[in-house]
Amino acid sequence: MLAPPEEGGYALGAPMRGLAASRVLASRIPAFQPGDTVYGYSGWEDYSVVDGKGYWDTTKVPPGVPPNLAAGTLGITGIVAYFGVTEIAKPRPGETIVVSAAMGGVGLVASQVAKILGLHVIGIAGGKEKCDWLREEAHLDGAIDHRNEDVADRLDALCPEGIDIFFDNVGGPVLDLALERLRPHGRIVLCGITAHYDHTTGLPGPKNYSQLIMVNGRMEGLLGRDYFDRFPEAIEALRAWIDAGKLKSKEDVVVGLENAPSALARLYSGANVGKQLLKIEDPKLTLT
């Protein structure tokens, strides 16, 4: 049975865990039948034995949803983006939102949901290819290449009146730049701190947080699992937008279990263009 990580890390020799879309081969849990596709925690391994309980309980993937979408836009990635924008940011049409790591899994859904809801959307991403995709395929109002452009200058040019909402996947210097430009009653959605995950010592705090006082601003953390019970509501909305052609998915699929560590590393080098997925194998229908 796949064990949860012990406090302070994984036990030596235990498989890494991750959220996956998997095919059920055998089940003692009545809710799951052989042949079902499920979404939940499993190991970085070809076959996993799970009890379906944990940080994110295993759920059945609705019929017609392919595994790539189940593990991406219609998985926790899409949920945090959906509720982060609709419930934490509480957007009003016409407001300006800036999204960091906008060409990543969460960022791409958050940016497009904001666009669908009538916001002025600026994405921050690394490199020309990502920024072109954001403008041309996701139809954002602007994109900033944080690896090759001066982000402060570009924010001033693209958000001349300031920022109403900052959806932050990254943390680091960009958070300070957004704080500096926050408009009255501005909101900052704290989704992730990718710029800091490799820190082994204390996290640096944002320098400009006093700006929250000056603009009656709000900074709020977002935890996807809080919305577990409302998973179906988000899936229904996101699926409808996908079907209507309003929400595009972009996945970056690395193939082969042996490439799992390098696939994970792509998130930190920024090599992934879209949701980083690892395909272990096509689903089997029976036990071999």
| Site residues (vs ligand NAP, CB under 6 A) | 76-77, 80, 101, 103-107, 125-126, 130, 146, 169-170, 172, 191-195, 222-224, 267-268, 270, 272, 276
One-letter identity of residue 241 = W
Nearer to ligand NAP, 133 or 241 (CB): 133
Question: Least distance (Å) from ligand NAP to the CB of residue 270?
Answer: 2
Please state, in angstroms and rounded to a whole number, the distance separating the CA atoms of residues 140 and 130. Answer: 12
Q: Min. distance of Cβ 193 from ligand NAP in angstroms?
A: 6
Written as one letter, the residue type at 200 is T
- Which amino acid, 121? V
Nearer to ligand NAP, 65 or 175 (CB): 175
> Least distance to ligand NAP from the beta carbon of 85, Å?
13
Nearest to 247 by CA among 39, 122, 73, 125: 73
Please, which residue, 54 or 270, has the CB nearer to ligand NAP?
270
For ligand NAP, which is the closer residue by CB, 46 or 198? 198
Which residue, 115, 129, 191, 178, is CA-closest to 151?
A: 178
Of the two residues 76 and 165, which places its CB atom closer to ligand NAP in the complex? Answer: 76
Tell me the C-alpha distance between 151 and 17, whole Å: 35
Nearest-approach distance from CB 268 to ligand NAP, in angstroms: 5
Nearer to ligand NAP, 62 or 172 (CB): 172
In whole angstroms, give the CA distance from residue 285 to residue 277.
21
Shortest distance in whole angstroms from residue 187 CB to ligand NAP: 15
Partner residues linked to 145 by β-bridges: 125
201 residue type, one letter: T
In whole angstroms, how close is the CB of 267 to ligand NAP at the nearest point?
4
* Residue 228 DSSP class: G
What does the alpha-carbon distance between residue 118 and residue 141 come to, in Å, rounded to a whole number?
A: 11
CA of 191: how far to CAs of 31, 85, 90, 171, in Å?
31, 10, 15, 9
